[in-house]
Amino acid sequence: MSVDLLVRKIKEKGNPSVAGLDPKIDYVPQYIRDKAYAEYGKSLKGACEAIWEFNKGLIDALYDVVPAVKPQSAFYEMYGLNGEEVLNRTIKYAKEKGLYIILDVKRNDIGSTAEAYSKAYLGSVDIDGVTEKPCDVDSVTVNPYLGTDGVKPFVDDCKALDKAIFALVKTSNPSSGELQDMIAGDKHIYEHVAELVNKWNEGTTGASGYGAVGAVVGATYPEQAAVLRQIMKRSYFLVPGYGAQGGGAKGVKPCFNDDGMGAIVNSSRGIMCAYKKGDWQEEQFAEAARAEAIRMREDITGIL
Amino acid sequence: MSVDLLVRKIKEKGNPSVAGLDPKIDYVPQYIRDKAYAEYGKSLKGACEAIWEFNKGLIDALYDVVPAVKPQSAFYEMYGLNGEEVLNRTIKYAKEKGLYIILDVKRNDIGSTAEAYSKAYLGSVDIDGVTEKPCDVDSVTVNPYLGTDGVKPFVDDCKALDKAIFALVKTSNPSSGELQDMIAGDKHIYEHVAELVNKWNEGTTGASGYGAVGAVVGATYPEQAAVLRQIMKRSYFLVPGYGAQGGGAKGVKPCFNDDGMGAIVNSSRGIMCAYKKGDWQEEQFAEAARAEAIRMREDITGIL
């Protein structure tokens, strides 16, 4: 009922970072695309098989370096049923390699519907007495705009099944402040959301000292991150915006506690497209990704 | 680049309501479930084939009464790939029957990822020069918590492809006020979001007088709806919360303009489970749904 499994894997790897698997088709090396198109056609199926080869190569190169992967659902949904199938294949493969799975879906809805979303990804589905787990991941991201009853079903499944969620608090994008930075009473909206996260996190603290309800806090807003780190003492932070979005190691430091724990930093494009920088050949995409993941590990652990 | 198509269909049917297709397995008549289990097993596949039979029966009974259907993605995602496949089949069938499709996905993310979501449902995907449309619907719901750059990609596709979106403004659930009712400056957050909706809606107004960016406004909060109706003059309202969630025709009235346009009211459980009330037999589920959809039409048009 906590984020302990993730904390353990972060300690094992000595690496508080997560590799985002956001496979835009133009991230995939051309030779992989061409091979897949030759076999399956230049089609949704062809694109998805190329993505699968790419993801598999990345996971093979990264699984002993990073503790976790974060597939971004949008980049699979955009390829329809084939995309969903490759997402499931990717999750299964990454799990077999011992990776912790954070599925980035940012789901949100009213209570009874949020329950269905939670069952889809964290819990299980009852079919007249038969239990099925359609897409079983370790954690998902959720959007807090609907308030407590849209998040509670996820928390219930976290408690029952030892899962975790990360609620959007302060996102990494340029316009995140439009709503999140508004001041209501004496606090920013992101601080109010942080207090809701604390409420949702009650009674879920594990041996690590952290609970099941984490927070998404962008590397691009280090000042806000420092404030949020003080408010949500028992929440792990999932930190997007490192690298390609402009946040560096300095930007992520305030997301961590003094003991170097408390946050996991995501890099998607930086790792996936590492082969496009420097002297790498396309065929070395996995080697390049591994080198970048190691560089990122050193960069982040260096400031902790 | 507007919601004109929906407005036309509402006028044709004389009915400003939409049938929600949220097929929880216990909404499906037992005889349909048993038949599907006998053929496909008590499994995800079996559940999904039962849902398909149910949806098909509902669409056949409703397509000349309602202008639109609103599948709730959560109730398909919860059945994994089989569920996604039945969602696609349902959308295709409903379109063939001339229904306007509002896919309730409440998607949200940073700009580049929101673009992928928009391509998944409104736009098209480019695969090295080949264009594919994985799941082409008329409109989707979006969550505004990330601000403008998370919504703009959807608006761009609306403009290019004559689609529409509905942004969550004031949701129907009990805890919607936790964030949405907070006061920042001199206004509630839902009013600030309404002003963002106006900004996003600029330059999309169609012949109907309404633009491509609509708003989700719950029937359960009529006072707030009246305020929002004044702010978002060019936005169509998608109104959940009628019926099962407690909002009646009186609750939805403030969502409409004086000419009886400007809103479309959703009922999911009320229509889908109509056969469970009164003297209907399970086998009459479609007839019961049709009777309830007609009753709802009369109820709502009666107060306009």
Residue A74 belongs to domain with CATH number: 3.20.20.70
Catalytic member of B95, B106, B253, B276: B106
pLDDT reading at A244 higher than 90: no
Catalytic member of A106, A133, A152, A253: A106
Helix intervals (H) in A216-268: 222-231, 249-252
β-partners of residue A153 are none
Mutation for B interface: A143, A195, A238, most B CBs within 10 A = A143
Q: Parallel, antiparallel, or unpaired: how do β-strands B139-142 and B100-107 relate?
A: parallel
A81: which chain B residues are within 8 Å (Cβ-Cβ)? 81, 84-85, 88, 134
Mutation for A interface: B122, B143, B242, most A CBs within 10 A = B143
Cα distance between residue A250 and residue A254, in whole Å? 8
Cα distance between residue A181 and residue A230, in whole Å? 17
Cα distance between residue A276 and residue B169, in whole Å? 41
Residue B128, chain A, CB below 8 Å: the answer is yes
Task: Tell me the whole-structure pTM to 2 decimals.
Answer: 0.98
| Nearest chain B Cα distance for residue A122, angstroms | 10
Number of domains into which chain A is organized? 1
- Token pair 């606090």 is found at A187
Annotate B126-175 with DSSP letters as a single string: EETTEEE-SS--SEEEE--TT-HHHHHHHHHHHHHHT-EEEEEEE-SSGG
Q: Do B88 and A111 touch (CB under 8 A)?
A: no
Known active-site residue B106:
yes
**Residues in chain B, overall count:** 304
Q: Which of B124, B97, B129, B101 is nearest to B6 (CA)?
A: B101
CB atoms within 10 A of CB A211: 28
- Axis crossing angle, helix B189-201 with helix B148-161, rounded to the nearest 10: 40
Widest pairwise Cα distance in chain B: 60
| Residue A247, pLDDT score | 66
List, edge to edge, every strand of the sheet that includes B183-184: A187-188, A183-184, B183-184, B187-188
| CB-based contact B149:A175 (threshold 8 Å) | yes
Instruction: Please state, rounded to an integer, the average pLDDT across all residues of chain A.
Output: 96
Cα distance between residue A122 and residue A137, in whole Å? 6
Domain limits for position A134:
4-303
Out of A74, A132, A180, closest to residue B120 by CB: A74
β-partners of residue A102 are A139
| Residue B244, pLDDT score | 64
Question: Model confidence over A10-55: pLDDT tens digits?
Answer: 999 999 999 999 999 999 999 999 999 999 999 999 999 999 999 9
| Residue B247, pLDDT score | 66
DSSP A160: H
| Residue A251, pLDDT score | 83
Q: Do A168 and B147 touch (CB under 8 A)?
A: no
Q: What is the CA radius of gyration of chain B?
A: 19
Out of A25, A134, A196, closest to residue B178 by CB: A196
Helix intervals (H) in chain B: 4-13, 30-40, 44-62, 74-77, 80-96, 111-121, 148-161, 177-180, 189-201, 222-231, 249-252, 269-272, 285-303
Residues 6+ apart with CB under 8 A from A120: A134, A135, B74, B77, B78, B79, B80
pLDDT tens for chain B, residues 1 to 304: 579 999 999 999 999 999 999 999 999 999 999 999 999 999 999 999 999 999 999 999 999 999 999 999 999 999 999 999 999 999 999 999 999 999 999 999 999 999 999 999 999 999 999 999 999 999 999 999 999 999 999 999 999 999 999 999 999 999 999 999 999 999 999 999 999 999 999 999 999 999 999 999 999 999 999 999 999 999 999 999 997 666 678 889 999 999 999 999 999 999 999 999 989 999 999 999 999 999 999 999 999 9
